[in-house]
Amino acid sequence: MAVKLKEMFNDKKNILIASLSIVLILGVLTISLFVGIGKMPEHKMQTEVTNMKLALVAEEHYSCCLNKPCSYCLLTEGSCDCLEEVMNGEHPCGECMGEILEGKGNSYVAKYFARALSDELGEQYHDTLKEIISQKYNIPVEGQA
């Protein structure tokens, strides 16, 4: 009887150790999974988005007015016509409008920015926009569209 009890005790101890190990392993796995999920996406998504843009640029479905093509049009439309819109005096997407004002537009088409942005913001801001573009892109106010 005493031996049996001892065996049982040992069994229980073993089961306890086994369960604890499993809990520990699952815990570590769960934590690394969460850490992994927290870290991965931004990196992975950025690379993915960049690759998608490059592919579309190559297919000529992505002509943006920025130095670094916008993400907005890619994610909402799957293509970008912002450059064409700017050239035609129409406003580009919201992301491009913001980036243009920060000086991140393609400077080769800078003289069309003020007109394109005033299409959305209002003609009353056309002259002010010309001033801003003039400073951001180092081009004269005269000669801007």
CB of 82 to Zn ion, least distance (A): 4
Tokens at 144, concatenated: 């801007």
CB of 143 to Zn ion, least distance (A): 24
Residue whose pair of structure tokens reads 């997407």 in the numeric block:
93
Output 34 or 108, the one with its CB closest to Zn ion. 108
Tokens at 65, concatenated: 């007015």
Q: Contact residues for Zn ion (CB under 5 A)?
A: 70, 73, 82, 92-93, 96
Question: Using an 8 Å Cβ cutoff, are 66 and 106 in contact?
Answer: yes
Helix (H) / strand (E) element for 58: namely: helix 2-58
Output 40 or 80, the one with its CB closest to Zn ion. 80
CB of 130 to Zn ion, least distance (A): 21
Output 70 or 129, the one with its CB closest to Zn ion. 70
In angstroms, the first-to-last Cα distance of the chain is: 101
